[in-house]
Structure 1
Amino acid sequence: MTRRTDWAEHDAHPGIPWEPGSGDHAGLGRGGEGGSRGGRGRRRRGFGEPSAEDGGASPSSRAEGDTPSGDPAERARAICLRLLTGTPRTRKQLADALRKREIPDDVAEEVLSRFEEVGLINDSAFADAWVESRHHGRGLARRALAQELRTKGVDPTLIDEAVAQLDSEREEETARDLVARKLRSTRGLDRDKRIRRLAGMLARKGYSEGMALRVVRQALAEEGEEGEDTEFFVEDGG
């Protein structure tokens, strides 16, 4: 992917049609209208930021989506639209939210399928955007990105396609940038400790042990610090 996008501004990328009040909401019934109104005047969250779904809905947010209604389909639409107004979601995330609010499974399935038809749920676009955002913003490698997408219920095939955006060359370039930013803070430590600390930082972001050690050793050599190489085992946890 060649373009750079700030995913905190979801209306800046046409690949994910989650903009409240768009034409796609017209066929979703009264729940769509209520969901659009609920999102006005609120700051949109970017990927990875806490939400009502993640930390528990506040009384005000519950009032927006869980309005008393005898029609569970209307309630399901309102809940989904409210959640999508805040930040993009996968189908599984929305299904889990509907289940917590005791929406019948058959109703939830019908509503979620309709949202997919009109493009309000698009797990493929979600995965692509997630990879671009989290790699650019946090420097995460393919392994860490794939793990995050798995926890959000994205299909393995879509995950593979999304992380394929990052080739080994781009991944290593990002690893070098991460080490360069941290290098100064490790000065004064002995060489072995610097290697462990910097390589551990990369390991926590999903980089392989081999790449992490190679990048760190090259960075130290370029800085002018020479020494005998010692074999290190870098644990994923740091």
Structure 2
Amino acid sequence: MQINEYIDHTLLKPTATPDHIITLCDEAKQYEFVAVCVNGCYVTLAKEQLLNSEIKIASVIGFPLGAMATNAKVFEASQSVLDGADEIDMVINLGLLKAKAFKTLEHEILEIKKEIGDRVLKVIFETCYLTDTEIKIACKLSINAGADYIKTSTGFGSGGATFDTVKLMKAEVKDQLKIKASGGIKNTTTAKKYIDLGVSRIGTSSGIQIVLNPQ
């Protein structure tokens, strides 16, 4: 696979306008990225722009804090699918994880997966706020709940993906789940190292730079 086939071309800034999303989709078509990742309000627009292409649309849920009510997250996921999302990137409830409310957290992931059916579910951990033990637990909960991917970061936390964190996640899930690395990945060398570590997706707003300026 070429590196562009790993990239979720991402624009989640709160100031993103419809014109920015149209540009994002045009870039995704030009560079043949695997997906675009957008906020829920822009799923319909992205769907229109990517009509007759194979590029997937990922919508973020509970973004970026993960602290919304479960019913709100489920509804948000349902609406995104209705609007045309192929994939859902949901943020877990970090407070519940730290409070060891593991059954509640697993139930939330399960309910969202149930709502979206055979569409891809990526579970965002926001690993910069978690201990290694908490990351391992989040991996197990994601497996139990039927997720498809685990994902390192929103890109809005105090830190993004790290090689050590991805190694830890990979050791825990092995081949049971795929991994998406995101947050701070801005060059080809870094992206390729994550791929070598076993990630299946790279979430980045620097996809063009990664493809055009190998270093």
Higher percent of residues as strand: 2
Higher percent of residues as helix: 1
TM-score computed with the length of structure 1 as normaliser: 0.27
TM-score computed with the length of structure 2 as normaliser: 0.29
Q: Pick the structure with greater CA Rg.
A: 1
